[in-house]
């Protein structure tokens, strides 16, 4: 079956039931896989941040700042930012209700279309195998990779200490991602294949766009831009 972009038109779901139905639909869609061989000249990352000192997991109406950064040929090319309010309380597995629209807007403010988008969210590591990284890719019709500090549901060992070491992460025996050591002496990141990406491609992309720091450069620049917007600078 050809890839269908069901989220290209319309708005993000506004209720948990609507989102759950959409997650199941997106997770079941056939996706022609994207690989580095298709081109890796432009890589974007997106990030959202919230007020410092916030208590609790997050409530509807919380202010937030989203940013996207575009790296072209290894250099920062553009930043897109947007400020707004979270549309819902935080609930595990339903992050798209809270953050999806703002992240989409930040990415759409970039002047160019990336080859692949890194998202600070999960992909297959999700109760319905459709985390925000997967949903955002479907909405934007962009290959996506999730990158987080911790898994959502998956479990697995730590990788070796050398850069590039990996350790698979599973849910009920199913591989849904891996821990990846991007820098010796630091904690590994969790890498999530998402929209049109497979795990080997996701690992290769992350290593290709990670320099001397632990965080991949597109996400690092997006995080800094979101924090700068939060500071009003």
- CA dist., res. 70 & res. 67, Å (int): 10
The helix or strand, by DSSP H or E, that contains position 101, with its residue range, turns out to be helix 95-108
Q: What is the pLDDT of residues 29-88, one digit of tens each?
A: 988 999 998 889 999 999 999 998 776 788 889 999 999 999 999 999 999 999 999 989
Which pTM was predicted? 0.93
Nearest in space to 133 (alpha carbons), one of 107, 159, 109: 107
- CA dist., res. 94 & res. 73, Å (int): 34
Q: 16-230, which class in CATH?
A: alpha beta
Distances (CA, A) of 231 to 29, 39, 84, 147, 154: 40, 36, 14, 24, 34
Cβ-contact 57, 25 below 8 angstroms: no
- CA dist., res. 33 & res. 198, Å (int): 7
Distances (CA, A) of 164 to 158, 167, 174, 206, 207: 12, 10, 22, 10, 7
As a whole number, mean pLDDT of residues 158-164 equals 96
- CA dist., res. 210 & res. 216, Å (int): 4
Q: What percent of the chain has pLDDT over 70?
A: 95
Q: What is the pLDDT of residues 9-31, one digit of tens each?
A: 347 899 999 999 999 999 999 88
Beta strands in the chain (DSSP E): 42-49, 63-72, 75-85, 116-119, 144-148, 166-171, 174-180, 189-193
């Amino acid at each position: 079956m050809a890839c269908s972009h069901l989220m290209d038109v319309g708005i993000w779901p506004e209720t948990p039931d609507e989102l759950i139905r959409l997650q199941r639909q997106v997770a079941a869609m056939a996706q022609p896989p994207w690989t580095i061989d298709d081109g890796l000249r432009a890589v974007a990352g997106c990030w959202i941040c919230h007020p410092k000192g916030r208590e609790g997991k997050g409530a509807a109406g919380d202010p937030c700042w989203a940013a996207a950064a575009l790296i072209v040929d290894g250099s920062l090319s553009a930043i897109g930012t947007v400020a707004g309010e979270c549309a819902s309380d935080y609930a595990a597995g339903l992050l798209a209700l809270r953050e999806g629209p703002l992240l989409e807007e930040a990415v759409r403010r970039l002047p160019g279309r990336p080859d692949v988008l890194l998202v600070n969210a999960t992909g297959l590591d999700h109760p319905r195998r459709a985390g925000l990284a997967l949903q955002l890719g479907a909405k934007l019709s962009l290959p996506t990779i999730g990158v987080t500090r911790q898994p959502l549901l998956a479990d697995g060992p730590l990788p070796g200490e050398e850069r590039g070491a990996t350790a698979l992460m599973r849910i009920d025996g199913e591989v849904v991602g891996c821990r990846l050591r991007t820098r010796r002496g630091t904690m590994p990141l969790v890498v999530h294949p998402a929209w049109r990406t497979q795990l080997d491609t996701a690992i290769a992309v992350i290593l290709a766009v990670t320099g001397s720091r632990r965080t991949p450069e597109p996400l690092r620049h997006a995080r800094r831009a979101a924090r700068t917007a939060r500071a009003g600078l």
